[in-house]
Structure 1
Amino acid sequence: MGYEFDKTKPIYLQLVERICWRIVRQELAAGEKLPSVREMAVQSGVNPNTVQRTYAELERMGVTETRRGQGTFVTTDTEHLANLRETLKTSHMMQFVKKMRAMGFTNSEILSGVQTALDSVVEEDGKEERYDV
């Protein structure tokens, strides 16, 4: 199977980002077990050492916790998960605003553009589109 990766960014960081997005989108719930290192390596098409580094980074961030002999689980600290969601939102919004300002757009033009985009992102069936990292 495998994912497509951006060659300009370390793969383990891209996996960290994908897992964080899945948590934020509630595809992975608090307390849910992540695939084993070997399973995730096969699913992602990467070396198990890369997945091990990914899981170590997620644990360092407080997003996951390792239970000896059981595996890696999404943290049950819902406050930390809420902070993760807010942090991701803020980070992506800041990147977007900086890029728009660098192109010369004013705040009102940015706000107008965001509103137009929000109005047009809904598919015909009324469900919002999902974007993968």
Structure 2
Amino acid sequence: MIPYAVHPSRPEGERRPDAGFTLLEVLVAVAILAAVISVVPRSLVSARTSIGHSRAWLEARLVAEEVLAAELRNGRIRPGAFSGAVRGHRWRVVVVPAAVADAQPSNGRVLLEARLSVEVSASRVLAVDRLLVGGSQ
């Protein structure tokens, strides 16, 4: 009979230097890698879409500011409805006298409420409300 060979004992959990990964460890690593790879492209697409929406809202806001600045510069602010288009964005402004109890025109000037709507896309509109000083007629 051949005597039983006794290996020197190792602390538990320590691997042999020539030991590799088990099949289970490789499968877990591949599953984690697959999950990460599937999330990253969706995140990039979502971020790109958000940037596009932000750009459209910013352009609409700049159009609104440009329209209001042009109206203020020309001094043509009067009650009524006006519309137009700037850089591909359609806009409409409705100007009415402000609903203030003591609104008495002085020197032909009156406080006006202006609601400016700028089309961001086919289904979205940016609305800007302002109080302005303008002519009473």
Under TM normalisation by the shorter chain, which class is it? under 0.3
- TM-score, with structure 1 as normaliser: 0.26
| More relative contact order, 1 or 2 (CA 8 Å, 6+ apart) | 1
Structure number, greater radius of gyration: 2
The TM-score with structure 2 as length reference comes to: 0.25
Greater percentage in helix: 1
